Each structure stands twice: as structure tokens, then as C-alpha cells.
Chain A
Amino acid sequence: MSTPLLEISNLKTHFFTRAGVAKAVNGISLTINKGEVVGIVGESGSGKSVTGFSIMGLVDEPGRVVGGSIKFKGRELLTQSVEEWRNFRGNEVAMIFQDPMMTLNPVLRIDTQMIEAVRTHEKVSKAEARKRAVEALAMVGIPSPEERVKAYPHQFSGGMRQRVAIATGLLNRPDLIIADEPTTALDVTIQSQILSEMQTLCRKTGMSLMWVTHDLTVIAGLANRVAVMYAGKIIEEGAVEDVLDKPLHPYTEGLVGSVPSKNHRGEPLYQIPGMTPSLINLPEGCSFRMRCPKATEKCHCEPPVTETANGRRVCCFHPNL
């Protein structure tokens, strides 16, 4: 295979807070190939959003990427100049956010916000940029886009706004879209519409998608591959059907087990005992060991990454092999 689209190796993004250093992303490696849909799953605070922001070079203060490398089409991103970053964002990789109510500027019209996204990367006329905006809106299923493009964000519903955000992301035909829980704030019906539209879009345009979510059922229907994050690390990675059907890591097993299913109606849902550890004060060795039913003395050391068939990786002393 040729160079992968995105290659993250040993990325570390830490937040230097007054209380201490929060290791939000603590040495993750992940590869995304062209046309692939990769899901990143994990609880709140597991570092999945920060991974997305690190790729975009948009980690907020007091956070900083402190180590590792992010290569896009073989090019190192972390050493880019400010101007190179600006050219990269929105052009080669686009990002859409969780809350569609907040991502669009409330006081600017949709066309202003979409046209500027085109014209910041390409010298085209306003009319040409507007035409592209209208096409993009049509592509994500917004009815009568010629008129709607003149509206303000508050004139759209939540689901429609998220479509506008996705359309904005598509404007410059990026190779990768990072979607940071884009359907979490939406109704289930709207969610499934948007999911199926994203799938179609990826298939049509050949673009890759990195879908960050805490919802395993979304991943199951959408992604080819999934990476499970816990306390700033990827603890398991593999093809979606493998990971969900036969989780190797006890944490993934717990996650899969706690999804409600109709086979266990009326029974109490499974819960992973305990809470996510504080990122400032991570336990030594495996950060899941305090909650893990299989933890032993060994787990006080850094667990090894085991690679198995079909590109599966798991980071545990006691995987369910």
C-alpha cells in the first residue's frame, strides 16, 4: 500500500493547567487510509476530541502537542508554519463540531460564512464561490438551497444547521473530514439521516472520515475501522465487526456490554465499575487497571501492544484472545 492519508505516531497532547499536567492524549498511533471511515470511541475526557483538534492544529491554551508526529500524505504537520496550517485547515482536512447551534456564527449569513471558506483557499469570484456553496448545500440535502443560503443560522433547525456545517466542510473537497460527535446533539431520526448521508458522501467523493463519538451503535453502522480510547490512549483498534463482536480489551468488552439490547430486556444494564481516572493523576501502568476485573500485579507496568490478525491491535496484559 502507498503512503497512508494520515499517519499519527506516538502523539502526545498535554494541557498545562494550574493543578498539573493533564495528559489528554498520551502517545497514540493511528493510521487513516484514503476512503476509509475510522471511528474513535471513548468516554468523555478520553482524549478523542483533543486528537481531532491536534490534527487540525487547534488545541486550545493551555494545551500543546508535546510529542509525536502527524503526517498527512507523508508530510509532517507539526512543524508547519502558521500560514501552512491556515492553508491546510479546511482545505485538506475539514472539521465539524458537536453542537450545531454553536458552530455557525449567529450574526453572519450562511452565504457569508460559506463563501469566505472557499475564498480563503482559492482565488475565485464571489459568484463562483456562492455557486459552490449552493451545490454543497444541495449535496447534504438542504431543500431550495439558492434561497436558504441567504438565511441566518437561527432560521435553521439543529439538524439543518449541522448539514450546513457539513456542507461548509465539503466546500474545498478535503481528503479527510474529522467529525467531532456531530450527531450527539441531534434527534435520533435526524442522526440516522445525517449518518446515511455522510456514508453516501464518502462513497461518492472517496474522502476519508474520522468519526469521533461515544456512541458505539453509530460506529457500528458507519465505520470500517474503530479505535477505542481510554485516558489518552488507544487501547484497542481493529475492523468494526471484529472489535464489536469480539472485543479483546476488558474495557471495550465493558463498553460493548453496557449497550442496551433487546435480548436482555428488563435486566439491569452492565456498568463498568468506578470512574475515568483524572488525567492529571493517571495511575502507573495500565490506566484501566483500577476498574478492570482482570487486573493483576503485572498491570502496574506499561501494557504491551499486541498485534493480531486482520490489523487488530490491543494494549493489554490480559486480552481476550
Chain B
Amino acid sequence: MLAFLIRRISQSAVVLLVMSLLVFVGVFYIGNPIDILIAPDATPAEYARAVHELGLDKPLWEQYTIFLKGALHGDFGNSFVYNEPALKVILDRLPATLELAFTAMFIAVIFGIPLGMVAGMKANNWIGRNIMRFSILGFSLPTFWVGLMLIIIFSVQLNWLPSGGRGETVMLLGIPVSFLTLSGLAHLILPATNLALFKTSLAIRLTRAGVQENMQMDYVKFARAKGLSETRVIGLHVMKNIMIPVITVLGMEFGSLIAFAVVTETIFAWPGMGKLVIDSIGVLDRPIIVAYLLITVTMFIIINLVVDILYSILDPRVRLGQER
């Protein structure tokens, strides 16, 4: 287990290094941020000074070395726009995104898995078929459209829920969260539902496929032949087998939930990282873009590691550290 962790961490370091290089070079070639940042009527002298101040007159390799040195100390440079450390700007927005992602995942799990189990066991009756129809919709309707529809129905027409923003937040362990206040919860429901829709459909399909596959297995028949109640056969025997693929896939998807909450955050004006990075790309705020991508990659790495560990807990046939 320890050997596994050490190997994974060193692999992750290499991934991060390569990633940082790619992103840095990529962003360098996208365009010159000075053209956007500086007033159009600036003199060439002012222009040259701005370029020099931001260190953009140095060759690419030198810029990268400076960045790398800073990054090792946790300094990704100052945002061109906010004139604050890029890392701080992003971390300020992180709790909002994490809260949204966790809520969406929570919704996906508590609705998706039970619905999937019902759909798997009642595959041929109307309940099962309707659940599958719903999941097809969840899969195929574009997120932005569903988001707009949710706003039109629940905010504009019914006037039940607010259409944007985060509402009141309270501090929980030093992190601002909105799900503990009524106003915050009201603001959270729509964007979280919007974000959860796709993952719920995914959970339904994974669980359904798992139920259908596992119910055919001899071990289910053997468990029944032992005289176990149907609750135990499904709740323990089948469930534990299904959870292996479900946790693996949903775990991986959780990373993308955080990284790609962009659309939902933009529609619901949710003050998270996704909205920040879209704005930053618009003004070529390089430090933010680079720091954001590196944080996202780090999160993916951590999530995958957690998934691998969970996997080995759930499936006794998998033993970590014995690969190769």
C-alpha cells in the first residue's frame, strides 16, 4: 500500500510537470495579453514598460523557469486583472464550485442508484421503461438548455427559486458554504439539479446494467437457495458487486463535474472557478488560466487515487501495490 502510494505520487509529479509545460507553452502562443489589458491609446513607451513589468519580454524558456521556481513555492504569479496571487483568486472561488459539485453528485447518487436498481429489476414493466426514458433525456438534453428551462420554469414562471447567485453563506470550518442557510439552499437547488442531471442518468444506467448482469449470476441463485431474504440478496450481495463499477465511474466523473461546471456556473451566475476561468480566458489572464488548469489536474489525480483506494476496499480481488 505504501509502495503504491509513493509510486502514484511520483507519477503524479511527472504528470503535473508535463502538464504545466504544455499549458504554459500553449497559453504563450494563444496571444499577447498586453493587447487586451492596455488602453488602446497607450504610447509605445508605455506599452514597452507594461510588457517589461509583466516579464513578457523575456524568452519563453526563461518565463517558464521563473514560473516553475515560483510554482514550487506555491506562487503562480499575480493575476493580470485582479492584481492578486492567482492561487488565492482561484482558491477563493473553489468552495463554491466544490459545494456545487458535491451537491450535484449527492443528488446523482441518491436518485440515480435507487432508480437504477428499480429499472434493473423491473426492466420490462412501465416503471423501468419510464426510468430509462428519463435517463435518455438526462443524457441527451444539453446542460445549458436544461439550465435555461429550469430558470424559466422555477424562477420566472413559478417564482419559487432564485435564478442566480449564491445566496447567504455561513462559515463551516473556515469555508463559506450556502447549504446551511435557507437562502443559500434555495440558490443551490437549481444549479445543482442542472449539473446533476447528466450524472444521475449515468448512475441509473450503470446501476441498471449492473443489476441486470448480477441478477443472472449463480451467486444470486445460491444466496436465494440459502434461504436469504430478497432484501439481503439485493441489498448486500448484488449491491456490493454493483458498487464497484458505479463508484469507479462516478468517482472519475466527479473530477469532470468540478472542472466542467463552467456552463452551469455561467448560466446561474454561480461565483465558482468555472466562471472565473471563462472570464480569465476572455482577457488572457495567463496566471489564472495556468493555475486553474494545474489545480484541476491535481484534483483529478487526487480523485483517481481515492477511487483506486475505494476500489481495492470494495473488491477484495484487487490488491494495490501488486501491479506489474
A interface, CB within 8 angstroms of B: 56, 58, 60, 86-91, 94-99, 102-109, 113, 116-117, 120-121, 152, 154, 165, 168, 172
Which parts of B212-235 form the interface with A (CB within 8 Å)? 217-219, 221-229, 232
The verdict on A89 contacting B217 (CB below 8 Å), with A106-B317, A108-B240 known, is: no
Interchain CB contact under 8 A, B226 and A104: no
When chains A and B are docked, how far (Å) is the Cα of A120 from the Cα of B228? 6
Interface assignment of B314: CB less than 8 Å from any CB of chain A: yes
Interchain CB contact under 8 A, A117 and B316: no
The verdict on A90 contacting B226 (CB below 8 Å), with A99-B218, A107-B314, A152-B316 known, is: yes
Interchain CB contact under 8 A, A102 and B227: no
The verdict on A89 contacting B225 (CB below 8 Å), with A105-B240, A107-B244, A108-B236 known, is: yes
When chains A and B are docked, how far (Å) is the Cα of A246 from the Cα of B222? 37
When chains A and B are docked, how far (Å) is the Cα of A116 from the Cα of B236? 11
| New A-B contacts (18) at CB < 8 Å, excluding given A105-B223, A117-B226 | A58-B224, A87-B227, A89-B224, A90-B226, A94-B226, A95-B225, A97-B218, A98-B218, A103-B221, A105-B241, A106-B219, A106-B315, A106-B316, A107-B244, A108-B236, A120-B226, A152-B317, A172-B227
Interchain CB contact under 8 A, A117 and B314: no
Which residues of the other chain, A, contact B222 by a CB distance below 8 angstroms? 95-97, 103-104, 165, 168
When chains A and B are docked, how far (Å) is the Cα of A91 from the Cα of B224? 12
Interchain CB contact under 8 A, A116 and B228: yes
Interchain CB contact under 8 A, A105 and B226: no
Interface of B is mostly: helix
Q: Looking at the assembled complex, report how far the CB atom of B125 sits from the nearest CB atom of chain A, in whole angstroms.
A: 12
Interchain CB contact under 8 A, B227 and A89: yes
Select one of A58, A107, A108, A116 contacting B221, CB under 8 A.
Answer: A58
When chains A and B are docked, how far (Å) is the Cα of A104 from the Cα of B222? 7
B interface, CB within 8 angstroms of A: 217-219, 221-229, 232, 236-237, 240-241, 244, 314-317
State the 10 A-B residue pairs at the shortest beta-carbon distance, nearest first.
A90-B227, A102-B218, A90-B226, A89-B227, A117-B226, A103-B222, A152-B316, A95-B225, A105-B219, A107-B240
When chains A and B are docked, how far (Å) is the Cα of A107 from the Cα of B311? 11
Which residues of the other chain, A, contact B219 by a CB distance below 8 angstroms? 102-106
Which residues of the other chain, B, contact A99 by a CB distance below 8 angstroms? 218
Which residues of the other chain, A, contact B217 by a CB distance below 8 angstroms? 102
When chains A and B are docked, how far (Å) is the Cα of A43 from the Cα of B232? 35
Q: Looking at the assembled complex, report how far the CB atom of A183 sits from the nearest CB atom of chain B, in whole angstroms.
A: 15
Interchain CB contact under 8 A, B241 and A106: yes
**Interface-central residue, B232, B237, B314, by most chain A CB under 10 Å:** B237
When chains A and B are docked, how far (Å) is the Cα of A94 from the Cα of B194? 50
When chains A and B are docked, how far (Å) is the Cα of A217 from the Cα of B9? 59
Question: Which residue of chain B is the closest to A83 with respect to CB atoms?
Answer: B229
Select one of A86, A94, A152 contacting B229, CB under 8 A.
Answer: A86
When chains A and B are docked, how far (Å) is the Cα of A58 from the Cα of B227? 11
When chains A and B are docked, how far (Å) is the Cα of A78 from the Cα of B236? 28
Which residues of the other chain, A, contact B226 by a CB distance below 8 angstroms? 89-90, 94, 116-117, 120, 168
Q: Looking at the assembled complex, report how far the CB atom of B211 sits from the nearest CB atom of chain A, in whole angstroms.
A: 14
Which residues of the other chain, B, contact A168 by a CB distance below 8 angstroms? 222, 226
When chains A and B are docked, how far (Å) is the Cα of A305 from the Cα of B204? 54
Interchain CB contact under 8 A, B317 and A154: yes
The verdict on A90 contacting B225 (CB below 8 Å), with A102-B217, A107-B240 known, is: yes
Which residues of the other chain, B, contact A89 by a CB distance below 8 angstroms? 224-227
Question: Which residue of chain B is the closest to A155 with respect to CB atoms?
Answer: B316
Q: Looking at the assembled complex, report how far the CB atom of B110 sits from the nearest CB atom of chain A, in whole angstroms.
A: 22
When chains A and B are docked, how far (Å) is the Cα of A112 from the Cα of B317? 16
Question: Which residue of chain B is the closest to A104 with respect to CB atoms?
Answer: B219
Question: Which residue of chain B is the closest to A52 with respect to CB atoms?
Answer: B225
A-B contact pairs, 13 of them (CB 8 A): A90-B227, A94-B225, A95-B222, A96-B222, A97-B221, A97-B222, A103-B221, A104-B219, A104-B222, A105-B240, A106-B219, A107-B317, A108-B236
Q: Looking at the assembled complex, report how far the CB atom of A55 sits from the nearest CB atom of chain B, in whole angstroms.
A: 10
When chains A and B are docked, how far (Å) is the Cα of A152 from the Cα of B319? 13
Question: Which residue of chain B is the closest to A116 with respect to CB atoms?
Answer: B228
Question: Which residue of chain A is the closest to B216 with respect to CB atoms?
Answer: A60
Q: Looking at the assembled complex, report how far the CB atom of B43 sits from the nearest CB atom of chain A, in whole angstroms.
A: 72
Question: Which residue of chain A is the closest to B218 with respect to CB atoms?
Answer: A102
When chains A and B are docked, how far (Å) is the Cα of A88 from the Cα of B219? 18
Which residues of the other chain, A, contact B227 by a CB distance below 8 angstroms? 86-91, 117, 120-121, 172
When chains A and B are docked, how far (Å) is the Cα of A90 from the Cα of B227? 5
Q: Looking at the assembled complex, report how far the CB atom of A174 sits from the nearest CB atom of chain B, in whole angstroms.
A: 10
When chains A and B are docked, how far (Å) is the Cα of A88 from the Cα of B218? 19
**Interface-central residue, A88, A106, A121, A172, by most chain B CB under 10 Å:** A106
The verdict on A107 contacting B228 (CB below 8 Å), with A97-B221, A102-B219, A165-B222 known, is: no
The verdict on A120 contacting B240 (CB below 8 Å), with A89-B227, A90-B227, A152-B317 known, is: no
Which residues of the other chain, B, contact A86 by a CB distance below 8 angstroms? 227-229
**Interface-central residue, B222, B224, B236, B244, by most chain A CB under 10 Å:** B222
Question: Which residue of chain A is the closest to B222 with respect to CB atoms?
Answer: A103
Q: Looking at the assembled complex, report how far the CB atom of B7 sits from the nearest CB atom of chain A, in whole angstroms.
A: 24
Which residues of the other chain, A, contact B236 by a CB distance below 8 angstroms? 108
Which residues of the other chain, B, contact A121 by a CB distance below 8 angstroms? 227
Which residues of the other chain, A, contact B317 by a CB distance below 8 angstroms? 106-107, 152, 154
Q: Looking at the assembled complex, report how far the CB atom of B246 sits from the nearest CB atom of chain A, in whole angstroms.
A: 13
When chains A and B are docked, how far (Å) is the Cα of A66 from the Cα of B59? 85
When chains A and B are docked, how far (Å) is the Cα of A34 from the Cα of B223? 25
Q: Looking at the assembled complex, report how far the CB atom of A108 sits from the nearest CB atom of chain B, in whole angstroms.
A: 7
When chains A and B are docked, how far (Å) is the Cα of A156 from the Cα of B221? 20
Question: Which residue of chain A is the closest to B317 with respect to CB atoms?
Answer: A154
When chains A and B are docked, how far (Å) is the Cα of A100 from the Cα of B36? 70
When chains A and B are docked, how far (Å) is the Cα of A121 from the Cα of B218? 21
